[in-house]
Structures are given as C-alpha cells and as structure tokens.
A and B are shown apart, each in its own frame.
Chain A
Amino acid sequence: MLNLRNISKHFGNLKAVSNVTFNLKEGEIVGLIGPNGAGKTTLISLIDGSLSPTNGSATFRGEDIAGKRPDHLARKGLARTFQIVRVFKEMTVYENVLVGALFAANMDLSHAKQKVKEVLDFTGMSHLTDKTVHEITLPDQKKLQITRALATNPTLLLLDEAMAGLNSKEVDAAIELVGKIRAQGISILVIEHLMKVIMNISDRIIVLHHGELIAEGTPREITSNEAVITAYFGERYKKHISQMHNMEEQIIG
C-alpha cells in the first residue's frame, strides 16, 4: 500500500535520507531501525508530508504523495505520532481525540463523538476523558497520540518512538495495543529503539544507516545480518545486550 522509490532528502550538504526504496503491504507491521541520526524520523516525515523529498517518488494506495501536505494525507488515511509529543496541551483528552475524528476522518459532530468514545475505550483511556492534557502523565500523552491517530480512521499508522520512556509494564501494554490495532487491519510502520519491542511486533524490519537502507528482512534475518551488526550495533552492542538483560530482570523480578 505504501511504495517509496529512490526517495532522498538533503538538508544542504547533509544527506538525511538517500535513495531509499521499500514497500509496505496491506496489514503489515514494518519496523524501522537504525542508530541515532540515521534518518528514521526524516523518512517518516517524508511519508506523512511534513517534508518534501529532494528526489524520488512515493505513492500511498496508488496515489502520488510526494510533496503533498500532511493534512491532506491525514485525510487520506495516513496517521502518525511524534517522537516529541505534539498533543494539544490546553485541551481535554476528549477534545484531542475529537479533532482527529472531525478533521482527518471528516465526520459530523454526532458521528465523531461516537468515534471518540470507541477509540478511548479501545486504548483504555476512557477514565481520562475530561482531563486537560497538561494534567496527565507523559506516558498517557504518548498513548493519547496513538488514540487520536486512531480516531482519524487510518489505514497506515506511523509510530515514531511511541514507547520510548515507558516502563516495562507500560511497554508490554503498548505491545498489546499494537497487536490490537493490527487486528483491525491497520498497517503500521514503527520506529523503536527497544529491540525487544521491534523484534516482537514486526513482520519485517528495515535498517537505515547514514540515511541509506542497508538491510531488509524478517527479525531473525536482521539479527544475523553482518552489515547490521557492524553498522547498527557496532560498539554499542554490549549496551543493548545489557539493556535487554535489565528489562528481562525487571519483568521477571
């Protein structure tokens, strides 16, 4: 449903993304990984229209989307969350979600209200309905980003580090939520630093390094890919292992 062909984004001399080609199929969950500064968020921003590509083409469900505005693409069924939360702080949880149903899903008020109730129940946020966003915790704000994205009736969801900063219990809940979202037939492209998460939920993983796509395959293939291990894990390998180890301890303990 999403096809990128040789897509590139340059900021002056910096090639943030260069010549990336990949497809995402209906109903698929694709993990997007790579070290810091590999161009992951830039790639997501190229897909959702926040940035226009320097070169290359992108189509979403057959429509050319390169250089289209984000609000236009949101109405076409493309939703995203942001690494640094971009929720509406002075509005209530309810209103945040309502906005997605009203505009991106283009519903009238009564249908939109119904939709909001549904998705708040779906993600388990109903108890926060009337809270103003600045009163709720950061993990809840991250969840709210997903909730309001679901209110837009998306067919493709782009998750940019939606689980960073969550504790292991919250991570488990988030993984479960992603599974529920997939069960609804929504495709997902997910950026995540937590290896446990990415290995767990992805059908396929693509790896970016210095803006280039260096590997693509199933989680099992990626973990044994030489290029990935040297480029991505490299000297940080140990750190990741210990990170995963800690997490296991937390879960068991």
Chain B
Amino acid sequence: MKNTKFILPALLLVAALVPLLTGNQLRLATELMTYVVLALSWNLIGGFTGYATFGNVAFFGIGAYTAAMFATKGLPLVSGVLAGSVLAGLFAVLVGLPVLRLKGHYFSIATLGVAEAIRSLVPNLNFLGGPNGLTVNTTFPDEGWYLVTLILAIGAVILVTYVRRGKIGFALRSIRDDETGAQSMGINVTYYKVLAFTLSAVLAGVVGGVYSGFLAFIDAPTVFQGEVTVTMLVMALLGGTDTIFGPVIGAIVLKIIMEYLWTNFQNLHGLFLGVVIILIVLFIPKGILPSISALWRNLKKNAGLPKRGVGHA
C-alpha cells in the first residue's frame, strides 16, 4: 500500500520535532504515543480478529505494576518493562484459552470482568503497595520518555504491518468474518486467536511498563481504569479497524479533540467522549480512514479516471 511510504518518514519527522516541544507539549506527545500503541494493540484482537475486548487495560496495568515493582526493588526499569510485557503475554495465554471460546457479548463482558476483578484485587494486595500504589524513582528526562514511546509506536506499527500483511493477518481476518469458515480453510482458530490476544497484551504491557516510569507513581485506579480500554477502543474504531494506520489516525484525532476540550471545558470532556462514541457509531461506523478512501474512490470515479484492479480479464 502506498501510505506506508509516507507514514514512517512522517513519524521520523515527528521525532525530529523534539527540541521544539516545551514541557507540557512533550508530556502530551508522550501520552499520545502511548495511546497510539494501545490503539494498535486493541486493533489486533478487537479489529482484525473481531473479538471486541473490553478488558485490555488489564495488560497495561500488569505491565505498569511489574515495571514499578522491579523499580522499587532497585532493578533497572528496562528489565521491569521487559518482564512486564512477558507477564502480560503469559496472562493473555492463560486467560485467552478459556475466554476466547466465548463469542460476541460474552467475550466482551468476560474480558471486562477479568479487568475489573484485577482492578478491585490489586488495592487489597499489600506487596503491590495496597491502596497507596507504587512510586518509581527515575531521573529520566521528558525528552527521553517521549523518544522511548515514539520508538515503541514505530515498533508497534511495524509489528502490526507485519501481522496484517502476512499469513497471520489472513488467519485473523478470516476468523473475524466467519470462524467456522476459517476452520474449514485449515486455520487453527484457537492458535491464532490466542496469538492475536497475546501480541495485543505484550504491546499493552510494554507501554504500561514505560508509562509507570513516565508517571513516576502508579495505583490501581490509574493503570487499571476502564476508561483506558474505552479510549483505545474508540481510537481504533474512529480511525478504522480494518486498516493498519486507522488506530494511529484515530489516536491522534481523538487525543487532539480530548485535549482541546480538557483545556477549554475541563468538566465537559467525559461527556464529550460519550457523544463522540455515539456519533462515530451512528455516522462513521467504518472509521475515518475507510470513509476517506471511499470518498476518494467516488471522486476518482466521477472524474472518469480508470479504476485500479484486474478488471475483466
């Protein structure tokens, strides 16, 4: 696809902007990159595979808590981030095997249940700091966090592109469209569903770990809050779930809108998110990117340009 050529250089250009960004902008950009990864992570299982999880924040939180635990024990944060993503992945396999047997509503609510169970469990566990949470002492500068999350975002785009273009991508999309049909085409559906869920968890776990260092303090209400799942989900849907870059576009657009509302009408931003969700569902259910390309195709057609494709051979 042609957009790939533009997007990677564009991201590198974004990286070059670092010296121009001031403190607060830098922190916003870091959060944005974190959400780019989360939206891509959600899209692997919720978009490509069609298993709409309402609990992906669990993996984010597991990553964050593991990294923070490592940091409090005096271990380097990098090792904690790695351990956190591995743990998130393992947890996804463990939970995914039974839960991915559920379909539709049941899967969505079960994942929500798992995430909520962890959110209410963690404040009761004293070794995780109980209700007080954990503090991470780092001297890493804001520029550093931004670059780390930017690199992770680029890495996530590469991973998702690889998945989507390759054999795995075909397996996942077949499962989304018709699981029985996919099985009859020789696809081991359990394997691919768990794989997608695990990859999604690993991505969320990595940024979770980095986020704990970035915030320097975490507690369960912050890193396990359901709103994180909703935000990544809405970003993916807003941009377009059947695409590689949809979640990236969705993350950027939603983050900008939310930030604008947050600074101008602080109290309204939650209400607004709800309205945005309703409007997306009613008016652009396929997302921004596919809507734009549909529009583009129509324009081309009306302009009398030849259509791309094999045609009547």
Contacts and interface: CB of A to CB of B under 8 A. Distances in A.
Given A71-B188, A99-B174, A103-B187, A87 B181 contact: yes
Given A88-B173, A91-B173, A102-B167, A82 B186 contact: no
Chain B contact surface mostly: helix
B178 A88 contact: yes
A87 B167 CA distance: 18
A126 interface: yes
Interface string A45-76: 00010100000000000000000011110110
Interface stretch (B92-100, B155-163, B194-202, B305-313): B305-313
Contacts of A126: 310, 313
B3 interface: no
Interface of B: 167, 170-171, 173-174, 176-178, 180-189, 242, 309-313
Interface of A: 48, 50, 69-72, 74-75, 79-80, 82, 86-91, 95, 98-100, 102-106, 109, 126-127, 129-130, 148-149, 152
A99 B310 contact: no
Contacts of A129: 309-310
Nearest to A121: B313
B184 A74 contact: yes
A48 B184 CA distance: 8
Given A89-B178, A90-B242, A91-B174, A79 B184 contact: yes
Contacts of A82: 180-181, 184
A86 B180 contact: yes
Residue picked from A74, A88, A100, A106, most chain B C-beta under 10 Å: A88
A130 B307 CA distance: 11
Contact of B183 (A69, A95, A106): A69
Contacts, number: 86
A99 B185 contact: yes
A152 B309 CA distance: 25
Given A129-B310, A130-B310, A80 B178 contact: no
Contacts of A70: 180, 183-184
B108 to A, nearest CB: 19
B170 A102 contact: yes
The 3 closest A-B pairs by CB, nearest first: A104-B186, A86-B181, A88-B177
Nearest to B175: A88
B14 to A, nearest CB: 31
Contacts of A98: 170
A152 B167 CA distance: 15
Given A99-B170, A130-B310, A87 B178 contact: yes
B187 to A, nearest CB: 5
Contacts of B177: 87-91
Nearest to B191: A71
A148 B309 CA distance: 20
Contacts of B170: 95, 98-99, 102-103
21 contacts: A69-B188, A70-B184, A71-B189, A74-B183, A74-B184, A82-B180, A86-B181, A88-B181, A88-B182, A89-B178, A90-B176, A91-B177, A95-B173, A99-B171, A99-B182, A100-B186, A102-B170, A103-B167, A103-B186, A127-B312, A148-B185
Given A88-B174, A152-B185, 12 more contacts: A69-B183, A70-B184, A71-B183, A75-B186, A86-B180, A87-B181, A89-B177, A90-B176, A95-B170, A99-B187, A127-B312, A129-B309
Contacts of A91: 173-174, 177
Contact of A50 (B173, B180, B242): B180
A148 B170 CA distance: 14
A44 to B, nearest CB: 11
A69 B183 CA distance: 8
Contacts of A109: 167
Contacts of B187: 71, 99, 103
Contacts of A50: 180, 183-184
A130 B189 contact: no
B304 to A, nearest CB: 19
B181 A74 contact: no
Contacts of B312: 127
Contacts of B313: 126-127
